[in-house]
Amino acid sequence: MNSTCDSLYTADWLITQNEGRDIIHEAALAVAGDRILCVGHAEVLKILYPEARRVDLGEAVILPGLINAHTHVPMSLLRGYSDDKALQDWLQKDIFPQEAQLTPELVELGARLSMAEMIRYGTTAFYDMYMLEDAVFRAADAMGLRAVLGESTTQFFPSLAAKDFSGYERRVRRYAEEWKNHPRIRQAIVPHAPYTTSPDMLHTCRELADETGSLFGMHLAETEWETEECLRVYGKRPVEYCAQLGLLQPDSTFFHLVDLSEDDIHTLAESRCAGVHNPASNMKLASGVAPLQTLLRAGIPMGLGTDGAASNNAQNMLREIYLASLLQKVHSLDPSACPAQTALDLATRGGAAALHDPYIGSLEPGMKADFIALDLTLPHMQPLHNLISQVVFASNGSEVCLNVVDGIELFRDGQFLNFDYNALRNELRQAQAWIRKS
Amino acid sequence: MNSTCDSLYTADWLITQNEGRDIIHEAALAVAGDRILCVGHAEVLKILYPEARRVDLGEAVILPGLINAHTHVPMSLLRGYSDDKALQDWLQKDIFPQEAQLTPELVELGARLSMAEMIRYGTTAFYDMYMLEDAVFRAADAMGLRAVLGESTTQFFPSLAAKDFSGYERRVRRYAEEWKNHPRIRQAIVPHAPYTTSPDMLHTCRELADETGSLFGMHLAETEWETEECLRVYGKRPVEYCAQLGLLQPDSTFFHLVDLSEDDIHTLAESRCAGVHNPASNMKLASGVAPLQTLLRAGIPMGLGTDGAASNNAQNMLREIYLASLLQKVHSLDPSACPAQTALDLATRGGAAALHDPYIGSLEPGMKADFIALDLTLPHMQPLHNLISQVVFASNGSEVCLNVVDGIELFRDGQFLNFDYNALRNELRQAQAWIRKS
């Protein structure tokens, strides 16, 4: 690692999210290339690195970049297209038919829009699954975010991306070749869900992940309906079904995890796979409430995700953190459930586990320089009694005044720094006419 | 009413929230003094009022100002002071002792901070209850918001505001005299809750409201604990207890309304009183889930409120609207519960009913000129399929680009127009040292 400090960021506060959850007052963060060189007291680091470029953020808090561990970024195009409906109706009647009309150009446009939103509101890394995902690879490469990206598939062919399953296999092998060794992007093999795939397909997908050095992810146990379907068709609950197919591996990540039995949770914990909680989507689609506290107590690494904009309808991780805490409290009727620190952990350290990336999720020497800052001068961030409380319960995302990934500033003081947002809006204006027509 | 149009606001969209819930494309709103002269198509209104001052908001939506129908504005001083605790612990061990140290200066400062936050995030009117409320009257007068304000009391004297109940009576009679005929401010008599007051006191409070021409409000049925206490002490459930004391009148408003029986809801509906839903507070304090849909079906006019910043921890009505919808959906496991339009109604027409003000809550000729605008160009507000969905599910408050009360602009394009926010922050910095010390 480069030991020359390129940039020294100072701010009133810094939340490390390290093992001891240290918070530093009058703090500084030293960046060397794409890595964090060190964090500490501003006065000390200023002496250590007198030559470094200085960025003083003032009355602000620096924290690890937020990790959106489950989303479908192109779905921003369908934001507000269908609301107030149940998952299966929403998916089968409104979303799937609309998605069947998509083109690579539209997928890329939607992906760029979601990434703009995530950059604006403090996300630095995300785990995505969608169709025609090569467009998302291109968008993530261009927009500068860190990402785990997966071409999703069901058993229903021809799909937008392939005329049969071998076509899908060829496609993901091609992605593996094209994107290997990318500094920010990694592939995942992501079949859609147990109820839209066959056992053979799932087994092959898991093998494909191993063979191509990809991660593995899937929607799992999202609703009671899914459990009933799985029991009816395979005679097993979804987790047991997946376990027997060998899908539960330490590099697997399962999204939603709502309708779980105690045995399911035990099985997941034993396998050392990761999970992702999606409170907004689960609430809006009335899927139910994930047993988040039980999952955490069982030792399952849990990330947090927005899900796609069609079921959220934002890509704002600070809103998601707030919801994660409040939903557990009211559901368990225990106000100490999912306290502020736990909620923040989900979106940082937990997200790192869900993306299987040991170099993100906390601000420590040697970690990737993925960090954000929140402006503490805004009315809703005043006065300051408790920094973690302020981030989790008071923020709304608009406080984000800096977003840095791999040491590169993507957003600062209201401005996107590596793309032209007005040009993106113009493209959207044209695409919107297309969407309305279809 | 003045028929000269002073200002003509134009925008791509306008949500009227009138009886028919009309939405106008390429819209204009004409203001005459403190009233709305008319709303309609921009091209028509530009011809009707060629002399008016023009404000073109462009790619934005104008909508009625949001109404925060239950809060405690001075409590912004205690934002993040105590979290992740149950209502009674939180209140008795953390909040009450801290509040006992308050001064009128601190109450006014906290009130001004909450009002700054509300102005920034789209609230134009609120219903407040706290101690030393004269400081809140002064702050609301100065800050330009519309408000129903009440000096709250318990039976525990001496309090900050009075050495005994007669002192309280004198105080509210004085407020009635001092603030009568104010164009934006009205008094309410607001005893704290059934569990902190005596039956005699409540009865006298209701009489005081009638005698002084004030409204009447109280926390009611907030938790199961309150119901149990009320049954233990008075042998009745809280709603029945209040009904028998004559508190349920058409100008009464009850806050929270969580733990209700079918009979309770019937009793509330019969009395024609109003209610206020507080989803964030109910979730964070794990008070439970209000039977919002049953209350609405019973015909009870329901507003929406943030509650104080110590239990929310923001004063952001757009977040509250979102929560209102999502909480009902997940709790009832019905994704069609509390759809977007219903959630928006709570914060506009419902809020007007909870404040007993027939001149706010919709944008129609003759109504007060209380309106806001949201910037639709931000990434999370793109693309636009459904305007109500965008406002309810996608917004986070930072889209608010205009806040007008009584025809006066309080906020526009990131700037507070009628007070110095930096001066307020300086005062807070000094007060914060005081709060930490105590």
DSSP β-bridge partners for residue A62: A14, A373
User: CA torsion angle for A425, A429, A431, A434 (degrees, to 10)?
Assistant: 170
Has residue A332 got a pLDDT over 70?
yes
Contact call for A389 and B116, based on CB within 8 A: no
Sign of CA pseudo-dihedral B35, B40, B41, B46: negative
Q: How far apart are the first and last CA of chain B?
A: 52
Which pLDDT band holds residue A90 (cuts at 50, 70, 90)? Answer: confident
Has residue B349 got a pLDDT over 80?
yes
Is B390 an 8 Å CB contact of chain A? yes
Report chain B residues whose CB lies below 8 A from the CB of A85: 335-336
Has residue B421 got a pLDDT over 70?
yes
SS3 for chain A, per residue?
CCCCCCEEEEEEEEECCCCCCCEEEEEEEEEECCEEEEEEEHHHHHHHCCCCEEEECCCEEEEECEEEEEECHHHHHHCCCCCCCCHHHHHHHHHHHHHCCCCHHHHHHHHHHHHHHHHHCCEEEEEEEECCCHHHHHHHHHHCCEEEEEEEECCCCCCCCCCCHHHHHHHHHHHHHHHCCCCCEEEEEEECCHHHCCHHHHHHHHHHHHHHCCEEEEEECCCHHHHHHHHHHHCCCHHHHHHHCCCCCCCEEEEECCCCCHHHHHHHHHHCCEEEECHHHHHHCCCCCCCHHHHHHCCCCEEECCCCHHHCCCCCHHHHHHHHHHHHHHHHCCCCCCCHHHHHHHHCHHHHHHCCCCCCCCCCCCCECCEEEEECCCHHHCCCCCHHHHHHHHCCCCCEEEEEECCEEEEECCEECCCCHHHHHHHHHHHHHHHHHC
Chain segment B268-300, per-residue pLDDT in tens: 999 999 999 999 999 999 999 999 999 999 999
pLDDT of amino acid B435: 66
Q: Quick one: average pLDDT of A362-375?
A: 98
pLDDT of amino acid A234: 98
Is A335 an 8 Å CB contact of chain B? yes
Chain segment A245-255, per-residue pLDDT in tens: 999 999 999 99
Chain segment B387-412, per-residue pLDDT in tens: 999 999 999 999 999 999 999 999 99
Report chain A residues whose CB lies below 8 A from the CB of B90: 335
Q: Quick one: average pLDDT of A172-189?
A: 97
Q: Quick one: average pLDDT of B187-212?
A: 97
Strand B371-375 with B400-405, pairing: antiparallel
pLDDT of amino acid A258: 98
Is A319 an 8 Å CB contact of chain B? yes
Query: Of chain A residues 85-114, which have a CB less than 8 A from chain B?
Result: 85-87, 90, 113
Phi, psi for A394 (deg, rounded to 5): -100, -30
Q: Is B25 helix (H, G, I), strand (E, B) or coil?
A: strand
Has residue A165 got a pLDDT over 50?
yes
Q: Quick one: average pLDDT of A102-129?
A: 97
Name the residue in chain A with its Cα closest to that of B421: A379
Which pLDDT band holds residue B378 (cuts at 50, 70, 90)? Answer: very high
Chain segment A6-15, per-residue pLDDT in tens: 999 999 999 9
Sequence-ordered list of residues with C-beta below 8 angstroms from that of A97, at least 6 positions apart, any chain: none
pLDDT of amino acid B2: 54
Q: At residue A415, what is the residue type? A: Q
Is B437 an 8 Å CB contact of chain A? no
Q: How far apart are CA B116 and CA B228, in angstroms?
A: 38
Is B419 an 8 Å CB contact of chain A? no
Contact call for A340 and B309, based on CB within 8 A: no
Q: What is the residue whose two structure tokens read 């947002």?
A: A421
Angle between helices B165-179 and B134-143 (to 10 degrees): 20
Contact call for B284 and A336, based on CB within 8 A: no
Q: Outline where B20-160 has alpha helix (H).
A: 42-48, 87-89, 96-99, 104-120, 134-143
Report chain B residues whose CB lies below 8 A from the CB of A315: 380
Which pLDDT band holds residue B32 (cuts at 50, 70, 90)? Answer: very high
Q: What is the pTM of this model?
A: 0.97
ipTM over 0.85: yes
User: CA torsion angle for A310, A314, A317, A323 (degrees, to 10)?
Assistant: -80
Which pLDDT band holds residue A436 (cuts at 50, 70, 90)? Answer: low
pLDDT of amino acid A91: 85
Which pLDDT band holds residue A432 (cuts at 50, 70, 90)? Answer: confident
Q: Quick one: average pLDDT of B57-77?
A: 98
Q: Quick one: average pLDDT of B112-138?
A: 98
Has residue A437 got a pLDDT over 60?
no
Contact call for A312 and B431, based on CB within 8 A: no
3-state helix, strand, coil in chain B (%, to 5): 40, 25, 35
Has residue A435 got a pLDDT over 90?
no
Contact call for B283 and A327, based on CB within 8 A: yes
Q: What is the residue whose two structure tokens read 């993040």?
A: B80
pLDDT of amino acid B438: 46
Q: By percentage, how much of chain B surpasses pLDDT 70?
A: 98
Residues constituting chain A: 438
Mean model confidence pLDDT for chain B: 96
Domains and CATH numbers, chain B: 7-65+362-406 (2.30.40.10), 66-354 (3.20.20.140)
